[in-house]
Structure 1
C-alpha cells in the first residue's frame, strides 16, 4: 500500500494500479494477478452485490424529498442492514430477499447523530387504508423537543416502495405538519400514497425550523434532525372477505389447506433435504 503524494490524486483503476481514499488520505495498490474465490466467497460477493444495488436504489429514491442532510456513512450502514435482511433467508443456497424479512429494517436511522425517540415523545401507529395508502397516526403531545432556537418543528412521513424483483425502489412523502414550539399539539394523521404490491418502508422525519419575518428556515443542526424507519409493511394481495395478506402469508395459507382424504389413498410426503 503506497500513499499518493502528487498534485493529481485519483480513485479507481488506472492500468494495473488501483487508487482509493481512506478518510482524507489517498492510497495506491497494484491489481492482483489472479483472484481465487471459494464457493462461499462467491455467494457472499453476490449477496453484497444484491444488497448494494438495492441500497443504491433506496438512496436515490429518497434524494430530493428527504429534508435531513445525507450522511457519509449512510451507504455502508444501509448495505449492512440489507445484508442482514438477506441472511435471514434459510431456504435458498443463494440468498434471496423475502418480504417478511424486511422488518429487520425497522429502527434503521438515516441520521445517526439524532434518534427519533429523542425528538418525538410519542409512538406513531402505521396502517394501510383500503387502497394501499399508508396512514401514520401521531398521538397528541404535551411537549415538543427541538433545537433551542427553533420556533417550529416539522413532521412528515415518507414511504420507500421496494418493487418486486428487489432491484428498484420509489419514494413518496406526505404533506408536512408544522407544530409550534412551547405549545401542546393535537393528534394528527399523515397520509402517504404507496403501491399496494410493494414492500413499503415507512420513515418518519422530524426537523427543526425557525421563523423569521414570516418565512421558515431549517436549522441545520444534525443533533435536532431525525429520520428513522418506524414500520415495514408487506405487499397486499386481495383475498375473500375483504381480508388482505402478504404474498408470503397467502402462500403459507395455501399450503396449510387440509388435503381431502379418500379411502385407500396413499400419500407420499418426500422429506425436505
Structure 2
C-alpha cells in the first residue's frame, strides 16, 4: 500500500495499479499477477457482488432526499451489513449514513414503525444544545422491491421541534403503496437561526425500520348451493381476498 502524493489523484485501475480512497486520502496497490480462486472464494465473490449492487441501489434510493453529508466509510459499512444479512433485509435496521452521530443522540426513546404504516414517535424530553434554535426531523419512507431492483414510491414528512422541551407523542402515517419492502430513514438536523448546523455531531440519518412485503391472505372459500341451471355434481366456489388487518 502506497500513498498517492501527486497533485492529481485517482481511483480505479491504471495499468497494473489500483487507486483507492480511504478516510479522505488516496492510496495505491498493485494488482496480483495471478488470482487463483477456490469454490469458497468464488461464492464469497458472488455474495460481495450481490451485496455491493444492492447497497448501491439502497443508497441511491435515499440520496436525493437526504440533507446530511454521509461519512466516507458508509458504503463499505452498508455492504458488510448486506453480506451478513443475505435476503434478511431487516438486518440493515440501525444503519447510520453518518457514523459520527445517531438518532439516539436526539431521541433517547426510539421511534417505532407499526405494521399498519404508522410511525410512532414516543413522548420524551428533547435536550437543548447551545445556539440550536430547533431540531428538524425528516422521515423518509421508500418502498423498495429488492427482487426487481425498483423503487415503487417514496414519501417524506418534516417536523420542526423546539429543543429543551417535552416532546408530545406523535404518529406519522407513511402511506407508500406498491410492491416491496418499506425502508424508513429518520433524519435529524440541528438548526441555528441562520440555517442548519454543519457539525457532523449534530446531524443524523439512520435506517430505523425495514418492513417486509406483506403477503396477501385470502378468505376461506365460500361454497354456494347448486342451482338448477348448473351442471350436476359440480361445486362452484369463489375466493374473495380478505382485508389484511395490520398490527
Bucket of the pairwise TM-score, normalised by the shorter protein: 0.7 to 0.9
C-alpha displacement of 1:64: 2.3
2:19 aligned residue: 19
Looking at structure 2, the residues matched to 5 and 168 of structure 1 have their Cα atoms a distance apart, in angstroms, of 41
**Structure ranking higher in helix proportion:** 1
Q: CA RMSD in A?
A: 2.5
In 2, distance between residues paired with 1:6 and 1:156?
A: 41
Q: Is the 8 A contact 2:101 2:201 kept in 1?
A: yes
Corresponding residue of 1:222: 200
Question: What stretches of structure 1 of length at least 5 have no aligned partner?
Answer: 87-96, 246-273
Q: Distance in 2 between matches of 1:67 and 1:2?
A: 34
Shift, 1:57, TM fit: 0.9
2:140–2:156 Cα contact (<8 Å) kept: yes
Q: Deviations over 1:167-202 (max 9, x none)?
A: 444662422111112332322222333244211222
Q: Which residue of 181, 190, 193 maps to 1:211? A: 193
Per the TM alignment, residue 166 of structure 1 is displaced from its structure 2 partner at its CA by 6.0
SS at match of 2:113: strand
State the Cα distance separating 1:82 from its structure 2 match: 0.5
Structure 2, unaligned runs of 5 or more = 220-241
Which residue is 1:82 aligned to? 82
Task: Map 1:97-246 to 2 at 5 A.
Answer: 97=87, 101-129=88-116, 134-141=117-124, 143-145=125-127, 147-165=129-147, 167-169=149-151, 172-212=154-194, 217-239=195-217, 240=219, 241-243=242-244
Q: Deviation of residue 85 (structure 1)? A: 0.7
Secondary structure in structure 2 of the residue aligned to 1:123: coil
The yes-or-no answer on 1:47 pairing with 2:41 is no
State the aligned residue count. 222
Q: 1:19 to 1:113 in 2, by over 3 A?
A: closer
Matched residues in 2 for 1:163 and 1:204: separation?
A: 20
Q: CA deviation at 1:243?
A: 3.0
